[in-house]
Amino acid sequence: MGGAVVAAETALGVILAMLAPLIIAVNTVVAVVLLCLIQKSGSKGLYFVLNLAVADAAVGFTVMGLVIDEFSQNFHPPQIFCVLRMAFVTSSSAASILSLIVVACDRHLAIRKPFHYGQLVTGTRVGLRVLGVWLVAAVIGFLPALNPDFQTFSTSKKCFFFGVFRPAYMLTVFCVGFLPALFVFIYLYCDMLKVASAHMQQILEVQQAGLAEGCQSPRPTGELKAMRTVALLIACFTLSWLPFFVVSIVQTACSTCFPQSPLENYLWLPGLFSSLLNPLLYSYRQKDVRLQLSRLVAGVKRRILLCLGNGRHFPDTGTKALPTVSCLQLQG
């Protein structure tokens, strides 16, 4: 039995060791691409997407600490160390979730108020929203450190969620944070889909009236593509975190239903995968990010060849004008 537990802990350490660097690397690349886009376009809304990439990268950094703990043979952390360690992990994960909400609100505003978007989304307001995201995330993550009733004491030599936090804490986060956020997601995305459907209906009516003979048949517009991208992000987020919260709720009602075992450590791994999926979905689905990424890769390749002594001339394709702020928000 002891050998199985050790094997499970080793497997968990290996998974975290592979996942954490991937999360950091992918989100760092996306952050660099977004910074380049912001410099060229001046879009304020892209700062929210950038904040999402930073939050997901922070998840990877905090998980790296758990990787070090897993492979430290003579490491016996005190209770307060584990509480703070898991508080940082929870805070970064909460920041990622809250960033998704802010991105959704920004796109909803861009669709609902396209002509006033530039006036409503100013640099000061963007900064305050980003600051608010991290302040709320810090409160959520460090709540067990402030309230000892949410802590549990374990004889385990490793730091993990169920060995540090009581199920009541996860139930509180679910009812106060996750569940309301899910309802906000559903409302925003359904409302944006409603707007996109209305636009498509208007195009169809114009065509049927014979006022746009040269137009093509109605097809998914930028708004609809954006909705598909965001809906995919929400689905991945919900499926990633739902098992973790469900088991926490079950444990609150029945503490003996899920005995303390290494299996519980794997329940939050799908949530970590969401930090890897978010930048991948944005880079794959958003045209501007793909174009900027290809330009960065081409530039790096050009410099490498020049450093290797290749004197060939690489023509400069130039940079095309980027879409307006509203297009950046509407396109997925």
How many independent structural domains does the chain possess? 1
Pairwise pLDDT comparison (317 vs 162), residue with the higher score: 162
Sequence-distant (≥ 6) Cβ neighbours of residue 15 within 8 angstroms: 269
Contact in structure between 231 and 153 (CB atoms under 8 Å):
no
Per-residue pLDDT at 331 exceeds 50: no
Per-residue pLDDT at 148 exceeds 60: yes
Contact in structure between 231 and 189 (CB atoms under 8 Å):
yes
Per-residue pLDDT at 311 exceeds 60: no
Report pLDDT digits (tens) over 279-301: 877 666 677 777 877 888 788 77
Report pLDDT digits (tens) over 217-260: 445 455 556 567 666 767 777 788 777 777 777 777 776 666 55
The CATH number given to whatever domain includes residue 58 is 1.20.1070.10
36-40, 41-45, 126-130, 234-238: which has the highest mean pLDDT?
Answer: 126-130
Exposed, middle or buried, 118 (CB in 10 Å: 0-12/13-18/19+)? middle
Mean pLDDT of 7-35: 85
Q: Which two three-digit tokens encode residue 93?
A: 């994960």
Classify each residue of 131-157 as buried b or exposed e, where b means 16 or more C-beta atoms within 10 Å of its C-beta.
eebbeebbebbbbbeeeeebbbeeebe
Q: Which two three-digit tokens encode residue 90?
A: 């929870």
The pTM score is: 0.80
Contact in structure between 29 and 56 (CB atoms under 8 Å):
no
Q: What is the pLDDT of residue 171?
A: 81
Calculate what percentage of the chain has a pLDDT beyond 70: 73
Structural domain containing residue 262: 2-330
